[in-house]
């Protein structure tokens, strides 16, 4: 289990290998341990109603005391609802044979192929072990949560696209106003022989420079707020996704440079496209119309 499970690499207290057959040790999630009010070295009692025994006092569940030998922390809901014990100890608690394995967990290099793998191996397993065998993937257990997260990511990209669109509209509006205000200067340059293409390039360059500067400033501010978000929240006494055992763990933050690069490129491209109409309008200014009232 320690070779396949990530829990072994996220032990908060103790070692994963402390689970040994016959010693009745148990490893708890930090949130669960905090809820139970126990720590390493304390005793907890496990009960199994499925394997109850009959006594003179009536039907009693199978039970046994376990010693907490470690705590793990994944900063997720698993910390509050998962406990680990040795397979041999579990068999004794459930009054089963120690070599009786009711379930196996298969780990894949690509978790998103779970459904395809389950479909491909199901006929072979049913043929070998019988039709009573059931295969459950993480999609079936956590599919709704994954779909919700996926929808949130799509909505995030939609909101970012809308923000970029609003910024592009602001650039168009600012350049159109600038062209309107500078019609006299544009007409003078035109009468001096400056080509329409050169006039258009001036406004394109100005718009692109403004867009690039805004992108750089936004990148610096955005990265700064992202990387130091938990510190800023702690200053104001706000703790996001607080862990009851270790309050210092706040909101998990992951910065993906490739996504940032795509976003920067898209922003610059949209900025360039936003300058085309005002630049075209500037190049089409009629010198006679612009100077007749001057």
For residue range 34-87, what is the model confidence (pLDDT) as tens digits?
999 999 999 999 888 777 777 776 777 888 899 999 999 887 778 888 899 988
pLDDT at residue 244 is higher than 70: no
The residue with greater pLDDT, 100 or 45, is 45
Across 117-139, b (16+ Cβ under 10 Å) vs e yields: ebeeeeeeeeeeeeeeeeeebee
Most confident residue range from 49-58, 62-71, 157-166, 238-247: 62-71
- Whether the CB-CB separation of 36 and 44 falls below 8 Å is answered with yes
Q: How confident is the model over 214-241, as a mean pLDDT?
A: 83
Residue 154 DSSP SS3? helix
Position 229 confidence tier, pLDDT thresholds 50, 70, 90:
confident
Residue 8 above 90 pLDDT?
Answer: no
Question: Measured between alpha carbons, how far is 99 from 50 in angstroms, rounded to an integer?
Answer: 19
Question: Which residues are 53's β-sheet partners?
Answer: 60
Q: What are the C-alpha distances in Å from 257 to residues 215, 254, 261, 262, 264?
A: 15, 10, 6, 9, 10
- Region of poorest pLDDT, from 18-22, 118-122, 238-242, 262-266: 238-242
Encoded tokens for 50: 């499925």
What is the reported pTM?
0.54
For residue 30, CA distances in Å to 66, 78, 104 come to 16, 9, 25
- The Cα 231–Cα 125 span in angstroms is 51
CA 133 to CA 106: how far, in whole Å? 14
SS (H, E, C) 33-65: HHHHCCCCCCEEEEEEEEEEEEECCEEEEEEEE
pLDDT at position 165, please?
85
Q: What is the pLDDT of the chain when averaged over all its residues?
A: 82
* pLDDT-derived band at 283, boundaries 50, 70, 90: confident
**Could you tell me which of 46, 267, 79, 290 has the C-alpha nearest to residue 164?**
267
Residue 241's pLDDT band, with cuts at 50, 70 and 90, is low
Number of helices and strands in the chain (H, E): 9, 5
Is 62 in contact with 51 (CB distance < 8 Å)?
yes
- The ranges assigned to domains in the chain are 6-102, 108-136, 144-291
- pLDDT given for residue 56 in this prediction: 73
Q: Are 213 and 219 in contact (CB under 8 A)?
A: no
Instruction: State residue 195 phi and psi, 5-degree precision.
Output: -65, 155
Q: Is the pLDDT of residue 245 over 50?
A: no
**Which residues share a beta bridge with 167?**
none
Higher pLDDT, 202 or 252: 202
Average pLDDT on 154-170 reads 86
What average pLDDT score do residues 215-227 get? 90
Highest mean pLDDT among 27-31, 143-147, 277-281: 27-31
Give 193-210 pLDDT, tens digit per residue: 888 888 889 888 988 898
What is the reported pLDDT for 246? 47
pLDDT at position 294, please? 61
6-102: CATH, from 2.50.20, 2.40.40, 1.10.10, 3.30.70: 2.40.40
pLDDT at 249 over 60: no
Longest CA pairwise span in the chain (Å): 113
């Amino acid at each position: 289990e320690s070779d396949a499970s990530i829990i072994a690499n996220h032990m908060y207290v103790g070692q994963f290998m402390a689970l040994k057959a016959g010693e009745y040790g148990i490893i708890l999630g930090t949130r669960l341990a905090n809820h139970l009010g126990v720590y390493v070295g304390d005793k907890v009692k496990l009960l199994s109603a499925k394997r109850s025994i009959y006594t003179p006092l009536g039907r009693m569940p199978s039970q046994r005391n376990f010693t907490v030998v470690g705590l793990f922390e994944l900063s997720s809901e698993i910390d509050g609802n998962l406990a680990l014990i040795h397979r041999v100890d579990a068999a004794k608690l459930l009054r089963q044979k120690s070599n009786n394995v009711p379930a196996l967990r298969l780990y894949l290099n690509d978790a998103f192929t779970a459904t395809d793998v389950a479909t491909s191996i199901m006929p072979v397993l049913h043929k070998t072990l019988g039709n009573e065998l059931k295969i459950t993937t993480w999609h079936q257990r956590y599919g709704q949560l994954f779909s919700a997260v996926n929808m949130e990511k799509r909505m995030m990209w939609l909101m970012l696209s809308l923000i970029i669109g609003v910024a592009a509209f602001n650039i168009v509006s600012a350049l159109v106003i600038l062209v309107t205000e500078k019609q006299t200067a544009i007409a003078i340059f035109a009468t001096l022989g400056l080509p329409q293409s050169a006039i258009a390039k001036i406004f394109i360059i100005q718009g692109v420079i403004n867009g690039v500067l805004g992108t750089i400033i936004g990148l610096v501010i955005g990265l700064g707020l992202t990387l130091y978000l938990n510190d800023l929240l702690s200053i104001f006494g706000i703790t996001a996704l607080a862990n009851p055992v270790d309050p210092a763990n706040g909101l998990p933050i992951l910065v993906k440079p490739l996504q940032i690069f795509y976003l920067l490129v898209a922003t610059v491209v949209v900025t360039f496209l936003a300058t085309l109409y005002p630049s075209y309008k500037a190049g089409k200014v009629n010198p006679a119309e612009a100077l007749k009232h001057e």
